[in-house]
Amino acid sequence: MQVKRFNQKNTAKFIYKIRDQLPGYRIDLVCDNAPWHNGKHVRKALSKTRIHEHRLPPYSPQMNASEYFIRWAKEILSYNFCWKDVDSLKYSFRGFVASQSRKAKEVIQRCKPKMFGFNIV
């Protein structure tokens, strides 16, 4: 799902879409404290879909696996490289994301949160 702007309504649509795609599964959704992850639309979608929400503590990017994935994508796509236009960058990013499905172990290893005092397997 691609949106032009993150907001509560688009987050709610995403939650409904996840439930539609995985009807028989328990779904645990980890959210940070971004404004578009909060609010009545999101709470309503979570309660209607029975998706289990887990909130990260405020100001804890080291616990957010997406931060590691974004850093990895930047290393591959933009370190010492200048893109001709935004469309070329988008195309390459989509290719990067698609290629990760063949590297599940590496994705898990690179994106595992680095938290001291926790033993994450």
Q: Where are the domains of the chain?
A: 8-59, 62-111
Q: Among 10, 29, 9, which Cα is nearest to 19's?
A: 29
pLDDT tens string 37-70: 888 999 999 999 999 998 888 877 777 778 888 8
The span from the CA of 63 to the CA of 74, in Å, is: 19
pLDDT tens string 1-45: 778 888 999 999 999 999 999 999 999 988 888 888 888 999 999
Could you tell me the CA-to-CA distances from 7 to 3, 12, 34, 99, 104 in Å, in that order? 9, 9, 9, 28, 30
- What is the pLDDT, as a whole number, of residue 114? 65
Determine the length of the chain. Answer: 121
The span from the CA of 112 to the CA of 115, in Å, is: 9
- What is the pLDDT, as a whole number, of residue 60? 79
- What is the pLDDT, as a whole number, of residue 25? 92
